[in-house]
């Protein structure tokens, strides 16, 4: 048995600060009011405060255990809920969806509603910054039990994390994440689905939600996007 609280702590352990976080942090530090959509355990906004951001920082996520970790910092607003449920009206200069949150919106309906609520939360001319994995690179093909990740968690437990793709239906990949002991005892199995939209699809949904693509990059150093880029990084402007 591995609790939701353990899984949230393990997430932070498995996802140390990296180049994408630096990319998002520089955007956050350049904006006065920031909405972190799918903030998870709050690592980005925690770091923003620690780095001297003095404006409004607000994180939204439906995962109660992740938010409990986020709430360890009380000088940031934390809101439990989904992106589609957000009701802010032109309050933020910047919205971010860090660590591929964009991919959790797997249906057209949820993606439309999530982007519409994000647009509504932004002032005219505000920015949405996010990345999504490039479908052409087919990252999911590496998500199989022959590529496990061995970790020692926050409590000193030696674990083996493995992934298995259960189905690929159109651009949606459904998979499991299994947390086990090194001896193979299963402690927890999480199921998730992620959507791999191509650039044209991303731009179509953004346009319909009232965004104009301002910059498109293929990596976290602002290199150009190509067919072989791992990431499709977008800075979109909320049109008036
Ligand atoms: C890969 S994690 C990224 C967390 C965080 N942004 C980070 O950089 O560490 C994806 C997050 O999306 C959240 N999520 C899932 N469905 C969501 C939804 N409909 N609206 C907002 N967030 C959602 C999950 O709870 C999870 O915390």
Q: Which of 61, 111, 132 to mutate to test the pocket of ligand 1 (most atoms within 8 A of CB)?
A: 61
Model confidence over 47-88: pLDDT tens digits?
Answer: 999 999 999 999 999 999 999 999 999 999 999 999 999 999
Identify any residues that bridge with 176 across adjacent strands, giving them in sequence order.
164, 191
Model confidence over 164-209: pLDDT tens digits?
Answer: 999 999 999 999 999 999 999 999 999 999 999 999 999 999 999 9
Do residues 115 and 108 make contact, with C-beta atoms less than 8 angstroms apart?
Answer: no
Confidence of residue 92 (pLDDT cuts 50, 70, 90): very high
Look up the pTM and report it. 0.97
For ligand 1, atom 1, which residue shows the shortest CA distance? 99
Phi-psi group of 162: left, alpha or beta (phi > 0 → left; psi -120 to 50 → alpha; rest → beta): beta
Q: Which of 40, 100, 110, 177 to mutate to test the pocket of ligand 1 (most atoms within 8 A of CB)?
A: 40
For ligand 1, atom 12, which residue shows the shortest CA distance? 38
Q: What's the distance, Cα to Cα, between the start and end of the chain in Å?
A: 50
For ligand 1, atom 20, which residue shows the shortest CA distance? 82
DSSP 19-42: HHHHHHHHHHHT-SEEEEET-TT-
Give the pocket of ligand 1 (CB within 6 Å). Answer: 15, 37-40, 43-44, 61-63, 66, 82-83, 98-101, 104
Q: How far apart are CA 30 and CA 21, in angstroms?
A: 14
């Amino acid at each position: 048995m591995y609790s939701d609280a353990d899984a949230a702590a393990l997430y932070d352990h498995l996802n140390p600060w990296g180049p994408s976080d630096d990319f998002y942090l520089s955007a956050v530090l350049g904006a006065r009011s920031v909405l972190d959509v799918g903030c998870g355990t709050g690592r980005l906004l925690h770091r923003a405060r620690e780095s001297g951001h003095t404006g409004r920082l607000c994180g939204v996520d439906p995962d109660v255990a992740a938010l409990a970790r986020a709430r360890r910092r009380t000088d940031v607003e934390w809101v439990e809920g989904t992106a589609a449920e957000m009701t802010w009206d032109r309050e933020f200069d910047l919205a971010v969806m860090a660590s591929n949150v964009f991919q959790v919106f797997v249906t057209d309906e949820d993606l439309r509603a999530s982007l519409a609520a994000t647009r509504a939360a932004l002032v005219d001319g505000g920015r949405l910054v996010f990345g999504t994995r490039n479908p052409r690179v087919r990252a999911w093909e590496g998500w199989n039990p022959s590529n496990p990740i061995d970790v020692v968690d926050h409590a000193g437990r030696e674990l083996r994390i493995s992934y298995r793709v259960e189905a690929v239906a159109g651009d949606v990949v459904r998979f499991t994440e299994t947390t086990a002991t090194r001896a193979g005892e299963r402690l927890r199995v999480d199921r998730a689905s992620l959507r791999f939209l191509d650039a044209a699809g991303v731009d179509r949904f953004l346009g319909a939600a009232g965004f104009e693509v301002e910059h498109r990059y293929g990596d976290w150093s602002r290199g150009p996007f190509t067919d072989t880029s791992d990431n499709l990084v977008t800075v979109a402007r909320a049109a008036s």
